Amino acid sequence: MPTLITVAPTGAETTKEACPTLPTTLPELVETARRCQDAGAAMIHLHIRDAEHRPTLDVGRLRAAVAAVRAETDLVVQLSTGGAVTDPLEDRLRVLDAEPDSCSLTMGTVNFGDDVFINPWPFVTRLYELSQEREIVPEFELFDLGHVAALHRLLDTYGLPYGGRVHADLVMGVPGGMPGDTATLVAAVRALPEAVTSWSATGIGRTTLPVALAALSCGGHLRVGMEDTLNFARGRPVRHNDELVARAARLAELAQRPAMSPGEARDLLNVKPR
C-alpha cells in the first residue's frame, strides 16, 4: 500500500509575526500547495487567514482558497472545521459551504495546551450529517482514546460517511491529548472500528518523527506540516512545508511504501469527482 501524505501548512495557532515563513496569504498557500505536491503530498489540510494574517472562517475566503488550490494542483483539498479554539460552532459548520473534497471532523472535546477545543456531541453529529448531505468526505480527527470510542458510536448510529470509506487521523502529542509514542499509537489503532478503511497519524512538535516512523511500521499514512511543527530538527526551524513533505516521502520510500499520487488518494478516500 503506498503512503498518503497530507500536508497541513498553516494551522490557526502560530502567528505570522512569530513565524514569517508561515504561508498565510492566498498566493503563499498556492505556492506551498504546488511545491508540496511536487515533494510527495496528495492532500492538503487548509486553515486560512484574513488580510491581517489572523485565523478566519470567512466562507468567501474559504471558497477562494479551495478554487485556487484546485486550479494549480491535483491535491485533494480538505478544509479544517476546527478553525481556532475561539471560533463559534455555527461558523465551523459553514465551512462546508465552501465545498471542499474533504473536511476534518474532530470526535470530541480536548484540552489543547492552555485552551479547550470544544466539540460537543450534538455539534459532531450535525457536522457529520451535513458532510453526508453535501457529499464531502470527512477525516475523523482523534486526539485521544475517548475519541476512538466516539467514532464507534457515530458510525453505529449514523452509518458510513459519503463515499463509504472511513479515514481517521490520530493526532498525537498535543498537550492534553494522547502522547505521541509507539505504545499509544498501537493501542489507538487496535481500538479503531472495523469500518475504518485507512488511517493516518500526526505527531505534534517533537513527536513528529517518532509518530511518523511508528505509523509507517503499522501500515498507516502520514500528515506533516507547519501546523504541527515549526522545527525540522533540533535547533533548526522549518524553512518551507515542502521539506517536511519531502522527508515524509523519503521515510515512506524506505518503508517500501512510496508516496501515493493525488489520483491514488482520491481512490483511497473515494472523494467526489469535481
> Does pTM surpass 0.95?
yes
192 contacts 150 by C-beta, under 8 angstroms:
no
Give the per-residue pLDDT at 82.
93
Give the per-residue pLDDT at 252.
98
Give the per-residue pLDDT at 17.
95
Q: Which residues of 207-233 are buried (b: 16+ CB within 10 A; e: fewer)?
A: bbbbbbbbbbeeebbbbbbbbbbeeee
Cell digits of residue 262: 493525488
* Predicted confidence (pLDDT) per residue in 72-113, tens digit: 999 999 999 998 888 999 999 999 999 999 999 999 999 998
- List the one residue out of 269, 264, 270 whose CA is nearest residue 40: 264
Residue 198's alpha-carbon distances to 3, 103, 146, 165, in angstroms, are: 10, 15, 19, 8
Give the per-residue pLDDT at 274.
79
Q: For residue 156, count other CB atoms closer than 10 A to its CB.
A: 10
d(Cα 262, Cα 2) in Å, to the nearest integer?
12
132 contacts 94 by C-beta, under 8 angstroms:
no
Mean pLDDT of the chain: 97
Give the per-residue pLDDT at 210.
97
Render 10-25 in DSSP notation, one character per residue.
Answer: --SSS-TTT-TTS--S
Give the per-residue pLDDT at 85.
87
At 145, which amino acid appears?
A: L
Give the pLDDT band (50/70/90) at residue 185. very high
* Predicted confidence (pLDDT) per residue in 20-73, tens digit: 999 999 999 999 999 999 999 999 999 999 999 999 999 999 999 999 999 999
Give the per-residue pLDDT at 128.
98
* Predicted confidence (pLDDT) per residue in 213-256, tens digit: 999 999 999 999 999 999 999 999 999 999 999 999 999 999 99
* Predicted confidence (pLDDT) per residue in 153-170, tens digit: 999 999 999 999 999 999
